[in-house]
Amino acid sequence: MPDTDTTGKRWQDMTWEEKREERFQRWLNPANVDFISPEAEKLYKERVTRFIKAIKLEEPDRVPVMLPVEYYPAYYAGGNLKKVMYDYDELRHAWLKFIQEFEMDSFNGASLVFPGKVLDMIDYKIQKWPGHGLVDDAPSQQFVEGEYMPPEEYDDLIRDPADYFMRYFLPRSVGAFEPFRKLGPITPFVSIPVWYVSQFGAPDIQKAYQTLLEAGQEAMKWMGVVIEIGQEALNQGLDLLSCVNEGLTTGIQKVGELFASGEYFLPELIIGAEAMKKALAVLEPAMVGDQAREVVGRVVLGTVEGDMHEIGKTLVGTMLIANGFQVFDIGVDKSAGEFVTAVRENNADIVGASALLTTTMLQQKKLIETLKEANLRDKVKVMVGGAPVTESFAAEIGADGYAEDAISAVDLAFRLIDAPA
């Protein structure tokens, strides 16, 4: 969000009620939208007003309508799921027809109709879909049950999540990654990379990378069509924001609840988070820039200096984004000074520092000290996490809170920013 509201008042000086009203005004008056007609703009404002009144517990002119259509547009246009998964022109035709012929207040987009060509190219093993393991007219995908992470490998996952997924999980679940099984772990070669790099001379490793490059190019074609559909929906006055807030966000929050209750495990949580990220990457460019979604708060996120672990931090970032936070992920192996720079540049409300090694935990303490030296400590909340970090350690170093996983990190962030969860 910008640093000031439309009246010039600083964002950090506004009450939560003022922030909400400012968000509503930006929602009602979006930038970078070329409505196809004055009537489309009028319809957009009417639809958004319905959602705003519902959020404020006021009575709208009618109940806002959000159709949970899933793959129905494909069948409404005379096709089926297989046709729109493999033919992007059919995907475009079906969803644009649905937009034009159904009256609704928000639109779910086509980003969850995954491209069959890409899944075929990478030999995705976790699901079956029409034309790939299922009959051509099957109405949905089907999860393939299997032991994708044996219990004896759990310590490997905790020890080095990035290495585990690259050399164990992905080769087991995606055929294109199968040659990566024989790669050595990356961590021992950080200082002398030539031995690690030499492995990429193997023909099967080179072939795997070529397959991934080609699959990436094909995925970009699919994304172009999905973005086009979303932009057309917005130009016609439909509300994509509610798709994100009431559709994707609700879904990933349910995944989080299942993880917290023990019904889902880490692989399912990561898959759900990645799906959320990919859908947001498609929908947000078709919305209204960085003002499109309601931003609860700004979070700078990173792994501390000397630590290369990334998956846990990235998962926390995705879950925070899913719950309305704007996240600035500065990456891994970041010094306290780099954290401070990011906090200042992005006017952050919260800084999250991850450490997965006992040898790097003290960098979290150094970060807090550096924030004090920069006169920023009283302007930003600090939350810490990572495998060796504990609540007592967080209190000892002066952090504002500790989270043991991505789900609790979201709850903590809401408490720290004093925003309604």
User: Which residues form the domain of 79?
Assistant: 31-238
Domain-ending residue, one of 238, 256, 280: 238
pLDDT tens per residue across span 152-180? 998 888 877 778 888 998 899 999 999 99
Question: What confidence score (pLDDT) does residue 1 get?
Answer: 46
pLDDT band of residue 239 (cuts 50, 70, 90) is low
303 and 210 share one domain: no
Please indicate, yes or no, if residue 132 is contained in any of the structural domains: yes
**Can you tell me the mean pLDDT for 72-98?**
94
Confidence of residue 244 (pLDDT cuts 50, 70, 90): low
pTM above 0.75, yes or no: no
User: To the nearest whole number, what is the mean pLDDT of the chain?
Assistant: 83
Look at residue 242 in the predicted model and tell me its pLDDT.
59
Among residues 218, 238, 258, which one ends one of the domains? 238
At residue 176, the pLDDT reads 93
**CATH code, domain carrying 352:** 3.40.50.280
Do 304 and 200 lie in one domain? The reply is no
Compute the average pLDDT of residues 9-23. Answer: 81
pLDDT of residue 279: 62
User: How does pLDDT run across 209-237, given as a tens digit for each residue?
Assistant: 999 999 989 988 988 888 888 777 777 77
Residue 282 lies in a domain: no
Say if 10 falls within a structural domain: no
The pLDDT confidence band at residue 288, using thresholds 50, 70 and 90, is very low
pLDDT of residue 301: 95
Question: Token digits for 106?
Answer: 């928000």
Do 326 and 198 have their domain in common? no
Average the pLDDT over 263-272 and give the result. 64
Instruction: Based on the fold, state whether residues 207 and 97 are members of the same structural domain.
Output: yes
Q: Which of 28-42, 235-249, 322-336, 386-400 has the lowest mean pLDDT?
A: 235-249
